[in-house]
A and B are shown apart, each in its own frame.
Chain A
Amino acid sequence: MEAAIEVKSLRKSYKKVSVLKDVSFSVQKGTVFALLGSNGAGKTTTINILTTLIKADGGTAAVAGYDVAARPHKVRNEISLTGQLAAVDNRLTGRENLLLIGDLRHVADSAGTAADLLRRFGLEEAADRGVSTFSGGMRRRLDIAMSLIGSPAVIFLDEPTTGFDPEARNEMWRTIHKLAQGGTTVFLTTQHLEEADELADHIAVLHQGRTVASGTASELKKLVPGGLIELTFHDDETRDAAAKVLGKSHAHTEGDGARLSIFTDGAVAQVASMFVVLRDARIEPTGFSQKVATLDDVFLKVTGAGREDE
C-alpha cells in the first residue's frame, strides 16, 4: 500500500524549547490515523508542519507524495486542515464561507458544491444567515464542511472533539467514519484513548516530542502483556488468604464482592498455575474474568507515567 503521509525523524524547536525531538510514522492511503498524546506532547506542532504552516528544523515529511518543505504548494492542493478553533468568518453567511473556500480552491461548481455540503451537514435552513447567529455545533459542522471542499485527499483534524458534549462528539465520530468510508485519508490528533480506539486504524503515541509507540489499537494493547485476571471470592477473608498464597498479586476490593486483580504475562501456564496454587490452598474463587488491557494501560506503560505500584 502507498503511504499518504510519511514522517521521518521530525524535529522542531521554538527558540530553545525543543518541541519535537524525534517523530516518525507513516499513514497508509485511505486509513484513519490518530496521533495520541497529552497536552504539550507536540501534536499541533506536528500537524502544523504537515499542513505547511510551519517548517521543521530537521527530518523529513511527505504528504500525498510531496515533500512538505520542498513542494508546499503541491501539498496544499491535496489537503485541508480543521484546527482546534472553528475557522469560519463570522460576518459571512454559511453559504458565503463555503463559496469563498470553493473559489480559492478553484472548484469547478462552487455553488453546487456549497449547496451539497450545506445539505449533507444539515445547514440548509441556516445557509443564508450570518455565521455569528450559529450555535457552536453548527459552526463546527460548517468548519468541517469547509474542509471537505475540493475533496482533499488528506484531511487533518486537530483535536476534533475537544470541548464537545457526548452527543456532538458522537456526531463528529460518525462524520469521520463516513469520510474514511469515502476513501479519504484522515489524520487526527487526540488526547483521548477512547477516541483513538474508536476511530483510528493506526495509532502513534506521541510523548514529549517523540513517537514512543505505534500500531493498531490491538497491537498497542499487546504491549501490555496478558492484561488482568480478576477473581471474585466469597468474602474478604478468603480474598486475603488468596492474596497471601498468590504472593506477588495485587489485591483490592471493589463493589459488593471481594475481588482480587492479578496482572499476568498472559501465558496459559501462568494462569493455570495460579488455579493450582489456589486449589492446593483449598481456596475457591466464586468468579473469574479476564480483562484485556485498555489503551489507558498502554498509554501509561509507554509513556512511563503513573501507577508506581505496578
Chain B
Amino acid sequence: MTALRHTLYLTIRQVRNFLRQPWFVALSLAQPIIYLLLFGALFKKVVEIPGFTTNSYISFLTPGIVVMSAMFAGGWSGMGVIDDLDHGVMDRFLVAPTSRGAIMLGRVTPQVLTILIQTVIIVGLALIVGGRFAGGASGVVMLIVVSTLLSIGFASLSNGIALLLRKEESVIAAVNMILLPLIFLSSAFLQQNLAPRWIQDIAVYNPANWAIQAGRTALTTSATAHTVLTHTLELLVFAIVCTWLATRAFRSYQRSV
C-alpha cells in the first residue's frame, strides 16, 4: 500500500514537472510529427518493393513512429534522475522512508501521459495525410498499451544507468548506443521479411520490435491476432524485469555514493 501511495505522490510530482516545461512539452510533441512527415516522405516509394504487403507507407510507418517516440521518451528518463542526484533531491527521498520501488515507478508511470498525447497526435496526423487504420479505436488503445510497456522498460533501464553512472553523458551515450540501433534492428521503417536475415534473427529478441509488431498488427488489422497477445505479455515481463533491475541499482548506489 505504501509503495502504491508513494508512487502516486511521485507521479504527480513528475507530471507537474513535465507540464511546467512548456518548451519541453512542445518539443516532445513536435519531434514525432517531424519524424512521421520526414520518413513518410523519404521512404514513400518503399511500398513498391516486391514483397511489401501494404500500399500506404504512412499507414505502415505510423505504429513505428509511435513506438519509437515512446521508447525515446522512456530512454531520456534517466536525465531526471541525474538532476535529482545533482540537487540532493534523490538523497532526501532515500533518507525518508520512501519505497524504493515507488521512486522508480513514480518516474516511469508519467510516461503514460506523454505516450497518450503523442499517440493521439501522431495517429490523427497520419489520418490527415492519408493513413488508414482498420484496427480502429481499440487498435490505437493496444498501440498505446504496448508502447507504454516498452517505454516503462527503457525508462527503468535509463534510470538504473543514471543511478549507477551518475553522469548525464552516460545517459546520453546509452540512449544513442542502445535505442537507436534497436530501432534499426526492428521493422519500424521496413517490413521485416525485406530486411537482411541476421537483422530478422536479432529482431526476434528485440523488445522494440515486439512493440512495433504488436502495435502494427493491432492498428492495421481488424482481427485480434495471436501476435498481439504474445508480444504484449513479453513486453509486460520486460517492463517488470527492467523496473526490478532499476530498483536493484539503488543497492549499488548505496555502496558507492
Contact = CB atoms under 8 A, between A and B. Distances in A.
Most buried by A among B5, B16, B20, B96: B96
B97 A77 contact: yes
B256 A14 contact: yes
B39 interface: no
Contacts of A277: none
Interface in B186-227: none
Contacts of B93: 104
B53 interface: no
A113 interface: no
Interface in A55-86: 55, 73, 76-77, 79-81, 83-86
Interface string B66-101: 000000000000000000001111011111111000
Interface in B5-20: 5-6, 9-10, 13, 16-17, 20
A100 interface: yes
Contact of A53 (B2, B6, B16, B257): B257
A87 B89 contact: yes
A215 to B, nearest CB: 29
B91 A83 contact: yes
Contacts of A85: 86-88
Interface in B119-157: none
Contacts, number: 78
Contacts of A55: 254-255
A115 to B, nearest CB: 18
A172 B94 CA distance: 24
A80 B96 contact: yes
Interface of B: 2, 5-6, 9-10, 13, 16-17, 20-21, 86-89, 91-98, 254-257
Contacts of B98: 104
A13 to B, nearest CB: 11
Contacts of A81: 91-92, 95
Given A53-B257, A91-B16, A96-B16, A104 B88 contact: no
Given A53-B94, A81-B92, A104-B6, A92 B13 contact: yes
A51 B92 CA distance: 10
B9 A100 contact: yes
Contact of B88 (A79, A80, A87, A130): A87
B91 A53 contact: yes
Most buried by B among A14, A53, A86: A53
Contact of A100 (B2, B13, B21, B95): B13
Contact of A104 (B20, B87, B96, B254): B96
11 contacts: A51-B95, A52-B254, A53-B91, A76-B95, A89-B13, A89-B87, A91-B21, A92-B16, A100-B13, A101-B96, A104-B10
Given A51-B95, A85-B87, A92-B16, 14 more contacts: A51-B91, A52-B95, A53-B95, A54-B254, A79-B95, A83-B88, A87-B88, A87-B89, A89-B17, A90-B87, A92-B13, A92-B17, A103-B9, A104-B6
A83 B162 CA distance: 20
B255 A52 contact: no
A105 B94 CA distance: 11
Given A52-B95, A105-B96, A88 B89 contact: yes
A239 B5 CA distance: 76
A204 interface: no
Contacts of B88: 83-87
B140 to A, nearest CB: 31
Closest 9 CB pairs of A and B: A87-B88, A85-B88, A76-B97, A81-B95, A87-B92, A83-B88, A103-B9, A91-B17, A54-B257
A214 interface: no
Contacts of B6: 104
A79 B91 CA distance: 13
Nearest to A15: B256
A48 interface: yes
Contacts of B254: 52-55
B37 to A, nearest CB: 31
Nearest to A73: B97
B25 to A, nearest CB: 12
Nearest to B94: A53
Contacts of A130: 20
Contacts of B10: 100, 104
Contacts of A36: none
A146 interface: yes
Contacts of A51: 91, 95
Interface in A96-142: 96, 100-101, 103-106, 130
Contacts of B97: 73, 76-77, 104-105
